Chains A and B, each alone.
Chain A
Amino acid sequence: MVEATQTKSKESKNIKIVKDATCTFCGCVCDDMELTVDLDEHRITKAKKACVLGRAWFYEHTIDDRPVVLIDGKEATLEEGIETAAQVLVDAKFPITYGLSDSTCEAQRVAVEIMDIINGSIDTTTSVCHGPSGMAFQGVGESTATLGEIKNRADLVIYWGGNPAESHPRHFTKYAVTPKGMYIPNGKKDRTVVLVDVRRTPSTPLADIFVLIKPGKDFEVLWALRALVKGKKISENIEKDTGVSREVLDDLVSRMKNAQYGVLFFGMGLTMTRGRHFNSGAILSLASDLNEFTHFVAKPVRGHGNVTGADNVVSWQTGYPFGVNFNRGFPRFNPGEFTTTDVFSRGEADAAMIIASDPASNFPKKAIEHMKKIPIISLDAKDTCTSKIAKVRFAVATYGINTGGTVYRMDDVPISLRPAFDSPFPSDQEVLEGIRNRVKELLKGDKARLAA
């Protein structure tokens, strides 16, 4: 239930309270926020229960004074923007859509549809964060759970290659470590928390056991753990190679085997270091192996608010989570060939639609150089490096603050959004629907263009 009350406060301000609002900053997607909204100023003045990142997210999203559409840097109407964007996409031979992780599922669905119609490629920011996990799921499967189940049952919580205290501040307190659960009546006292990382971080003090490993040795340690769990021999040089002694590994294995319910959370320290999808595959396999002895699950700790939704929507629509190509009229999945960094670095794409992400600031130099050569369509709530080099730049409303819709929490649980205040900007869903309709019109009767 949306409970919003609108009152005139003493300073005769239009104040609205939004209860149970959802924060879409990180993959935790906390849905217990209480927002105080100043409707005159178009800003959120108070965000109860929000963490430090959530507060920044809510407080800094105001209504900027900027044009809705810029074409080649010149102000234009929404219709003109949609027309130009549709033309760019229809004319392209190898268009790609990238981003989508800070966008609602409804908008993501339209983006996939556009790429399906024009036979382009669709890729999400998953390909540069937990994409390797997506590949590993396909290879070795996944033993999974919701965060609610973990809160109620997990007595052994292992974080591998992540720093949730800074990246997901409420992960500990709302979901996995301190909350009391049905079978965890005393909260943290009933759980053992293990942190595995290559350095000490602000998350470290929370851990009962901290395992420091040599950088780039995650796979070796996971592989050794798998062998020990299965009762197989491992090399005597393990401590010299990985920085982790045999005693620590044996202790960890015994704790894992004897846990009632164990969980392995893994972050980008694992997925984005040397070995990538094999690292994710190793941790997922370890969880599967442990199910011979007890119940064990593994979950990636996802970053952006709706990156999990992007995986779900793209999988549901195409059969694959990211890096999908429609050139031939049917979906093909090949990370490395159809993923955005690779497509840009090799100079292949001849047009790109970037939705709610900023590859121009964080992609490899070679990829950014190629981006500057091709027409870019950018949809973003804020000005970014990407929107600055875009041919068509749409300013859109912020999801979760200005627009409703659905997002997926990192454990694949869908959550509805409760917007705080209206925005003069269109939602990305509206812009994408406009582009889709125009693309359909432009392609009408042009059967040869469609390869299927």
Chain B
Amino acid sequence: MSTTLLKLHTPPQVPLETEVISPTSLSGLSESGIEHLQVMHGNVKAKLGDFFKVTGKGGSDIHLEGDLSNVKMIGTGMSTGKITIDGDVGMHVGMGMSGGEILVHGDAGDWVGPEMSGGRIVVKGNAGHMVGSAYRGQPAGISGGEIFIYGNAKNEIGNSMRRGFIAIGGNAGDFTGVNMLAGTIIVAGEMGIRTGAGMKRGTIASLQSAPMLPTFEYSCTYHPLFLRFYLIRLQENGFRRIIQDKHLNGKYKRYSGDGIELNRGEVLLFAR
């Protein structure tokens, strides 16, 4: 499989919107074809080649190098292939993707994988707010796929998610799984306040204790077998140091909620 290398030679002065960087858009294009793809540099139309040096023709394996923290919308709507980013990446990475994989060897900005329906995003560093969430005004967030953040993530992880799997290796901000419709969120570190506010169904699990809203009711302390399989899968995907055997075999406190909504969601907090 040939690799398409995009190396940042001129950092953008203002945010650069590059939804064209995806295997679907690049496939079959020559080096100069890729360099001529249109991007938005603030309010000015520009070419991808104005910022990136392209090596290799367009294929399903894309490598990006450089500090892309001001580059937004990489991998928008991708359905296949792989994007590897060596460095930090800006907002909206993997927006609405339906398949393939995005690997970020650095930090990601806000809105990682918003409204994705399939595929996988792995962020080795930290992520911003709104990981795997809905855009403002949208009724549902992600409807499938996996997002793995090795570091910390900020507020509103999985806002209104309908399906899918989000795992955070570090700590989470407030309102994890807010208005969640279904799906699974696992946070290895500490969660902020108001976890699961307004959730209808779905599972939020944490390996630490967490403050619960008054509308969540304690159900029992038990060993959820299904969680073991999720955790094993995470161990196999780079979370080995964080997830220990005691977490696989231990008991979890189960809270059901949100009482204001359907009360069919659950929050599982590691007990012992």
Tell yes or no: A93 within 8 A of B by CB: yes
CA A95 – CA B15 in complex, angstroms?
A: 12
A sample of 4 more A-B contacts (CB under 8 A), given A135-B136, A232-B259, A237-B214, is A233-B215, A336-B129, A337-B110, A348-B15
Which residues of A approach B to under 8 Å, CB–CB? 92-95, 118-120, 135, 138-139, 219-220, 223-224, 226-227, 230, 232-235, 237-238, 241-242, 274-275, 278, 326-328, 333-337, 348-350, 448-449, 451
Tell yes or no: B197 within 8 A of A by CB: yes
Q: Which DSSP category, helix, strand, loop or mixed, fits chain B's interface?
A: loop
Q: Is there an interface contact between B260 and A227, defined as CB atoms closer than 8 Å?
A: yes
Q: Is there an interface contact between A449 and B42, defined as CB atoms closer than 8 Å?
A: no
Tell yes or no: B70 within 8 A of A by CB: yes
Interface residue from B41, B43, B135, B175 paired with A326 (Cβ < 8 Å)? B43
The residues of B that contact A336 with a CB separation of less than 8 Å are 110, 129-130
The residues of B that contact A451 with a CB separation of less than 8 Å are 40, 43-45
CA A38 – CA B240 in complex, angstroms?
A: 78
Interface residue from A230, A274, A327, A333 paired with B42 (Cβ < 8 Å)? A327
Q: Is there an interface contact between B214 and A118, defined as CB atoms closer than 8 Å?
A: no
Q: Give 1 or 0 for each of B120-143: 1 = CB within 8 Å of chain A CB.
A: 000000000110000111000000
CA A224 – CA B259 in complex, angstroms?
A: 10
The residues of B that contact A350 with a CB separation of less than 8 Å are 13-14, 42
CA A280 – CA B269 in complex, angstroms?
A: 28
CA A238 – CA B216 in complex, angstroms?
A: 12
CA A219 – CA B214 in complex, angstroms?
A: 10
Counted as pairs of residues, one from A and one from B, with CB atoms less than 8 Å apart, the total is 103
Report the minimal beta-carbon distance from A371 to chain B, rounded to whole angstroms.
15
Q: Is there an interface contact between B136 and A334, defined as CB atoms closer than 8 Å?
A: yes
Tell yes or no: B213 within 8 A of A by CB: yes
Q: Is there an interface contact between B15 and A94, defined as CB atoms closer than 8 Å?
A: yes
Instruction: Report, nearest first, the 7 A-B pairs whose CB atoms are least far apart.
Output: A93-B42, A119-B43, A94-B14, A94-B42, A235-B214, A232-B259, A234-B214
The residues of A that contact B67 with a CB separation of less than 8 Å are none
The residues of B that contact A139 with a CB separation of less than 8 Å are 136-137
The residues of A that contact B136 with a CB separation of less than 8 Å are 135, 138-139, 333-335
Residues of B111-127 at the interface with A, using a CB-CB cut-off of 8 Å, are: 111
Q: Give 1 or 0 for each of B226-265: 1 = CB within 8 Å of chain A CB.
A: 0000000000000000000000000000000001100100
Q: Is there an interface contact between A235 and B174, defined as CB atoms closer than 8 Å?
A: no
Number of B interface residues at 8 Å Cβ cutoff, please give it. Answer: 35
The residues of B that contact A223 with a CB separation of less than 8 Å are 197, 213-215, 260
| Interface CB pairs A-B, < 8 A, 16 | A94-B15, A135-B136, A139-B137, A220-B214, A223-B215, A224-B215, A232-B259, A242-B214, A274-B174, A278-B175, A278-B194, A278-B197, A327-B17, A334-B135, A348-B14, A350-B42
- Contacts A227-B214, A327-B40 known; A93 to B137 CB distance under 8 Å? no
Residues of B190-239 at the interface with A, using a CB-CB cut-off of 8 Å, are: 193-194, 197, 211-217
Tell yes or no: B91 within 8 A of A by CB: yes
Tell yes or no: B178 within 8 A of A by CB: yes
Residue with the highest number of chain A CB atoms closer than 10 Å, among B43, B70, B129: B43
CA A325 – CA B131 in complex, angstroms?
A: 22
Q: Nearest residue in A to B42 (C-beta to C-beta)?
A: A93
Residues of B1-36 at the interface with A, using a CB-CB cut-off of 8 Å, are: 13-15, 17
Q: Is there an interface contact between B14 and A227, defined as CB atoms closer than 8 Å?
A: no
Q: Give 1 or 0 for each of B43-82: 1 = CB within 8 Å of chain A CB.
A: 1110000000000000000000000001000000000000
Q: Is there an interface contact between A224 and B42, defined as CB atoms closer than 8 Å?
A: no
Residues of B143-202 at the interface with A, using a CB-CB cut-off of 8 Å, are: 174-175, 178, 193-194, 197
Q: Nearest residue in A to B130 (C-beta to C-beta)?
A: A336
Q: Is there an interface contact between B174 and A275, defined as CB atoms closer than 8 Å?
A: yes
CA A135 – CA B15 in complex, angstroms?
A: 24
Report the minimal beta-carbon distance from A240 to chain B, rounded to whole angstroms.
10
Q: Is there an interface contact between A93 and B14, defined as CB atoms closer than 8 Å?
A: yes
Report the minimal beta-carbon distance from A413 to chain B, rounded to whole angstroms.
26
Q: Is there an interface contact between B130 and A118, defined as CB atoms closer than 8 Å?
A: no
Residue with the highest number of chain B CB atoms closer than 10 Å, among A139, A242, A349: A139
Report the minimal beta-carbon distance from A328 to chain B, rounded to whole angstroms.
6
Q: Is there an interface contact between B178 and A278, defined as CB atoms closer than 8 Å?
A: yes
Residue with the highest number of chain B CB atoms closer than 10 Å, among A94, A242, A328, A335: A94
The residues of A that contact B174 with a CB separation of less than 8 Å are 274-275
Interface residue from B13, B43, B215, B259 paired with A327 (Cβ < 8 Å)? B43
Report the minimal beta-carbon distance from B71 to chain A, rounded to whole angstroms.
12
Interface residue from B14, B43, B211 paired with A118 (Cβ < 8 Å)? B43
Report the minimal beta-carbon distance from B50 to chain A, rounded to whole angstroms.
12
The residues of A that contact B17 with a CB separation of less than 8 Å are 327-328
Report the minimal beta-carbon distance from A71 to chain B, rounded to whole angstroms.
23
Residue with the highest number of chain B CB atoms closer than 10 Å, among A119, A230, A242, A336: A336
Q: Is there an interface contact between B216 and A93, defined as CB atoms closer than 8 Å?
A: no
CA A93 – CA B211 in complex, angstroms?
A: 45
CA A298 – CA B13 in complex, angstroms?
A: 43
Q: Is there an interface contact between B13 and A448, defined as CB atoms closer than 8 Å?
A: no
Report the minimal beta-carbon distance from A280 to chain B, rounded to whole angstroms.
13
Q: Is there an interface contact between B259 and A233, defined as CB atoms closer than 8 Å?
A: yes
Q: Nearest residue in B to A226 (C-beta to C-beta)?
A: B260
Q: Nearest residue in A to B91 (C-beta to C-beta)?
A: A337
CA A349 – CA B212 in complex, angstroms?
A: 39
The residues of A that contact B45 with a CB separation of less than 8 Å are 448, 451
Interface residue from B40, B129, B212, B215 paired with A227 (Cβ < 8 Å)? B215
CA A94 – CA B194 in complex, angstroms?
A: 36
Q: Nearest residue in A to B92 (C-beta to C-beta)?
A: A337
CA A334 – CA B136 in complex, angstroms?
A: 7
CA A230 – CA B42 in complex, angstroms?
A: 48
The residues of B that contact A278 with a CB separation of less than 8 Å are 175, 178, 194, 197
The residues of B that contact A230 with a CB separation of less than 8 Å are 260
Residue with the highest number of chain B CB atoms closer than 10 Å, among A224, A335, A448: A224
CA A416 – CA B64 in complex, angstroms?
A: 56
Q: Is there an interface contact between A219 and B194, defined as CB atoms closer than 8 Å?
A: yes
Interface residue from A220, A232, A333 paired with B260 (Cβ < 8 Å)? A232
CA A232 – CA B178 in complex, angstroms?
A: 19
Q: Is there an interface contact between B41 and A238, defined as CB atoms closer than 8 Å?
A: no
CA A255 – CA B157 in complex, angstroms?
A: 36
Residue with the highest number of chain B CB atoms closer than 10 Å, among A92, A118, A227, A349: A227
Q: Nearest residue in B to A323 (C-beta to C-beta)?
A: B136
